Amino acid sequence: MFKSILIISDTHIPYHHPDLIPFLTKIKKEYKPDKIVHIGDEIDKHAMSFHDSDPDLPSAGDELKQSLPIIKELEKLFPDMDLLDSNHGSLVYRRALKYGIPKAYLRNYNEFLEVGKRWKWHDDLTLKTPGGPVYFCHGKVADVLKLAQSMGMSCVQGHYHSSFNIKYYGNSLGLYFGLQVGCLINKDSLAFRYNKTQRARPIIGLGMIINGLPKLVPMVLDKKGRWNGKIT
């Protein structure tokens, strides 16, 4: 049973927020989590996208080279971490499937990200908390509360960068929550140029589950888009 779960939202390394590591370092010190879950899209793989990629951004190889030092810092900070399979994270395997490349030719996540076996990837994850079981996935439906209702337990998801909220649902069996954890991207990166045409913009922050109760922790930014150094 886990009393303090840190949920790292979509980081999209190397197009992550520039204050990602200092922010997570302070979160770790403040909350002392006993379980770390990365909700998915740990790296972006923009050049491999099935959508149009920006020609002014790095190639797939250069993008990975830029990502590895940040991944190494993240592993040093959180040597034990559960990560969820995601649309960006799995792009290598999705591309391979499209072009008929057998799995035997591919390296696994730990190998190409050069991390130890204490980082473990899952399709989804259910953890026990003092408030009952909680289901984690990268992103299945736009309204996380509908997911909680269908699963019959509290649920956490990422994927939807502009969603950063907690909703509750109660029935005769108990009270459930839906936690949507936002993202930790650099919203000004060319990788997210599409945001400029969207009505809803990314919300930078992450989630916690403390003694079974959900909590949102926004990264409060100054006028230049940098973290103000405080945990709210």
State the SS3 of 152-221: CCEEEECCCCCCEEEEEEEECCEEEEEEEECECECCCCHHHHHHHHCCCCCCEEEEEEECCEEEEEECCE
Quote the pLDDT of residue 53: 72
**225: in domain:** no
**127: in domain:** yes
> In 10 A of CB 194, how many CB atoms?
10
**89: in domain:** yes
Work out the pLDDT band at 51, boundaries 50, 70, 90. Answer: low
Q: The domain spanning residue 31 has which CATH number? A: 3.60.21.10
> In 10 A of CB 88, how many CB atoms?
21
Work out the pLDDT band at 100, boundaries 50, 70, 90. Answer: confident
Domain that holds residue 143: 4-218
Q: Domain total for the chain?
A: 1
Q: Please state, in angstroms and rounded to a whole number, the distance separating the CA atoms of residues 105 and 148.
A: 38
**231: in domain:** no
Each residue of 121-160: pLDDT tens digit?
999 999 999 999 999 999 999 999 999 999 999 999 999 9
Each residue of 162-203: pLDDT tens digit?
999 999 999 988 999 999 999 999 988 766 776 667 777 899
Quote the pLDDT of residue 195: 66
**230: in domain:** no
**229: in domain:** no
Mean pLDDT of 30-55: 85
**227: in domain:** no
Work out the pLDDT band at 96, boundaries 50, 70, 90. Answer: low
**191: in domain:** yes
Quote the pLDDT of residue 188: 84
Among 52-56, 148-152, 160-164, 216-220, the range scoring the smallest mean pLDDT is 52-56
